[in-house]
Amino acid sequence: MLCGGKKSYFAGAVCIITLTSMVTFSYLRLQRHIHLPKIVQEGSRCRGETANSTITPLKDNRTFIISPYFDDREDKVIRVIGIVHHEDVKELYCWFCCQPHGKTYVSKAKIDVHSDRFGFPYGAADIVCLEPENCDPTHVSIHQSPHGDIGQLSRFEIKNRKAEPFSADFTVCISAMFGNYNNVLQFVQSMEMYKILGVQKVVIYKNNCSQMMEKVLKFYLEEGTVEVIPWPINSYLKVSPKWRFMQDGKDIGYYGQITALNDCIYRNMQRSRFVVLNDADEIILPLKHSDWKTMMSSLQEQNPGTGVFLFENHIFPETITTPMFNISSWNAVPGINILQHVHREPDRKEVINPKKMIVDPRKVIQTSVHSVLRAYGTSVNVPMDVALIYHCRVPLQSNLPRESLIRDTTLWRYNSSLIMNVNKVLYQTVLEAQK
């Protein structure tokens, strides 16, 4: 009846499109109805113990909650950053207690496991729930069932509820510090370079590090530059130091780096103009500008609407040194002196150099390590003549002789400020006895 009329291809196509649209619309309405918060209890006091750990396991030991964030960019939802088993976790529910009437709402969550798991059974996930209307909850509990007692569930504080003025232009996210990290000299040099380039805050997801490194972190904590997020992921999962699954029984790659990066973006969404995603041995070096602020101002002007800026990684092998800047007092500090490594490996035709990012966090939905997975707006590859990532580490092309490397002394433009600032930190931390 609906599809009667002329037996033409056009009419048939219109009929199919109409039916498809009707079915899709009905399905979306049904899905939204399923996920709408429903009252399960009234007149009760909001109870339950507030979770204080960075990583909180649910009773199933297949779901780990990091932190919930209010997100109203599309709808008013609570986006919980977590880690889940990609097959075993089928259903989760958000429990909200709304004051002053003590109404308890339950909302079925959408579980969105990030696509970049790299073969591991556990991965970063967004656990997304519609929040109750006229409630503005301050906390949420996550449960495997829509039935139960909210007073028995851990409560998680919802962050980003209130807009606030930016406290930083640039925040660097470093994840994760592990393996009894002891590259003290290079870490201090990176920190001081970040500050010279315009960084106000560095967030470090710390699993473990050496005692000497702890002293340095304490200095930067007291200075107000560093925020340390405890990251005891190996207390809950079998972690791999590698990024790709190797059939070795490990649960998650690279100490849950991707989860930490996503949490860092949301943690700084309302307090930092830009978020920088790189490792502690990487520095985005501008070639046409003196600092990141002028560089990003120029890049934004040239690329309106762009929220993700990708910078190409270039290896400066730690095995190739120069006698310049051999500062004797620094020899007592473990780690690499980046000022002595100014030869970079040439590009390889068959290999695409990985990238790291400076992002507008308000335009990012999900990120991986070298690119964003979902975002508003566009991504732009920043040309190498504008900036590159200085990455001093073990070589990738170890067979190349010194003369095949490219001498690049861009870093030396900052040498006097860098040496002075690094000395100041070292003599207040690890070189105190030599003052």
Out of 157, 183, 215, pick the residue that ends a domain.
Answer: 157
What's the full length of the chain, in residues? 435
Domain of residue 382, CATH code: 3.90.550
| Residues 96-107: tens digit of each pLDDT | 988 777 789 999
Q: For position 34, what pLDDT does the model report? A: 64
Q: What is the pLDDT of residue 26?
A: 47
Statement to judge: residues 112 and 181 lie in one domain: no
pLDDT at 47: 79
CATH number at residue 129: 2.60.40
* Omega of the bond leading into 317 within 30 degrees of 0 (cis): no
Q: Which long-range contacts (CB under 8 A, 24 or more apart) does 109-113 make?
A: 109/35, 109/80, 109/142, 110/35, 111/84, 112/366, 113/84, 113/86
pLDDT tens-digit series, residues 138-149: 999 999 999 988
Average pLDDT over residues 239-243: 91
> Please, which pLDDT band fits residue 10 given cuts at 50, 70 and 90?
low
Integer Cα distance of 267 and 131 in angstroms: 19
Report CA Rg, the chain.
Answer: 25
Range 402-428 average pLDDT: 97
b (16+ CB within 10 A) / e for 19-50 = eeeeeeeeeeeeeeeebebeeeeeeeebebee
Helix (H) or strand (E) holding 125, with range, is: strand 122-130
The total of structural domains in the chain comes to 2
- 23 Cβ contact partners less than 8 Å away, ≥ 6 residues apart: none
Q: What is the pLDDT of residues 323-334, one digit of tens each?
A: 999 999 999 999
- For residue range 65-87, list pLDDT tens digits in order: 999 999 999 999 999 999 999 99
Q: What is the mean pLDDT of residues 223-231?
A: 98
Lowest mean pLDDT among 29-43, 53-67, 213-227, 240-254: 29-43
Cβ neighbours around 360 below 10 Å, total = 20
Specify whether 190 is located in the same domain as 95: no
- Predicted TM-score (pTM) of the model is 0.90
100/24 Cα distance (integer angstroms): 39
Percent of the chain scoring above 70 in pLDDT = 90
- What pairs with residue 359 in β-bridges? 275, 308
Q: Which residues form the domain of 101?
A: 41-157
